[in-house]
Amino acid sequence: MVICPVCGSREWTKRYRIDIWDIEECDGCGFAGIDPMPVRENRAECYSEEKVVERNVKERSYPQKLSRLLKRFFGRITKRNKGDIFYNRLRRHLRPGSKVLDIGCGDGSFICKAKEDFVCTGIEISGYLASLAGKHPGIRVITGNFLDTELGREEYDGVTMISLLEHLDDPLQAMKKCFEFLKQGGVLLIKTVNYNCLNRRVKRGLWTGFRPPDHAVYFSPSNLELLLKRVGFKKIKISAAPFNDNMYCEAVK
């Protein structure tokens, strides 16, 4: 890492070593990222059909298995999952018929639900996953890296980014793009890993949130809010439970 995308600091401290990657933390704001960063031009190859299937069947470590089991268990108890959380938050902010852009839409599972109330478009870097998303009727899917995607004058009432931000090599450009895609008064909804959670502090280098090079950057609530304010977002609300590996953010343009 050279210049922090959040605060502009050039001072970094190496916190962890995961395989061949260092996890470096900004001395100014606590933002963290991997070194070396993945090559952006190779990102699409990481989400080919072969790679996606390989990740789904890959043998996970015991902490990873336990984490997934606990998430599923509590999800069943509370009868909530991330798709429902995002859908309900969109309904709080937007009127039926509003235009929603889901960045990193995967196989289209979320926008397939959201289309019940909204006009949905998805962007997906993986040609394989985009082809799956495109099979859902009533959904427009764009294949490509959203950082390089131009939508002309098209603007959206809502933009969603579910478990994507941590995968991106340039979070500042990503937030600027989201701001550009939104209408004035539109809302950006984000779910990303929470670097400041107690699980990471306890497990340190064994934290399940560390998955380089797939996970490239790591935010805490405070520095995510700083980045969003830097881009121009006004009303920002971040929800982060101490033992939850993830956090949710709502930001209004």
- What pLDDT tens digit does each residue of the chain (253 aa) get? 789 999 999 999 999 999 999 999 999 999 999 999 987 656 666 655 555 555 555 555 555 555 555 555 545 554 457 788 899 999 999 999 999 999 999 999 999 999 999 999 999 999 999 999 999 998 999 999 998 888 878 999 999 999 999 999 999 999 999 999 999 999 999 999 999 999 999 999 999 999 999 999 999 999 999 999 999 999 999 999 988 999 999 999 9
In the numeric block, the tokens 């700083």 are attached to: 226
CA separation, residue 190 to residues 40, 52, 83, 178, 204 (Å): 21, 22, 12, 11, 24
Cβ atoms within 10 Å, residue 150: 8
- Supply the pLDDT for residue 78: 44
Could you tell me if residue 16 is inside a domain? no
Whole-model pTM: value is: 0.87
> Distance (Å, rounded) from C-alpha 250 to C-alpha 239?
9
Q: Could you tell me which residues are beta bridge partners of residue 99?
A: 119
d(Cα 44, Cα 243) in Å, to the nearest integer?
32
**Has residue 105 been placed in a domain?**
yes
Q: Are 30 and 220 in contact (CB under 8 A)?
A: yes
- In the beta sheet, which residues pair with residue 21? 18
| Alpha carbons 76 and 66: distance in angstroms, whole number | 15
- What domain range is 194 assigned to? 45-208+215-252
Beta strands in the chain (DSSP E): 12-18, 21-26, 32-35, 99-103, 119-124, 140-143, 156-162, 182-193, 217-218, 235-239, 246-252
Q: Exposed, middle or buried, 239 (CB in 10 Å: 0-12/13-18/19+)?
A: middle
Q: What is the pLDDT of residues 17-44, one digit of tens each?
A: 999 999 999 999 999 999 999 876 566 6
The verdict on residue 229 lying in a domain is yes
CATH value at residue 93: 3.40.50.150
Q: What is the total count of domains within the chain? A: 1
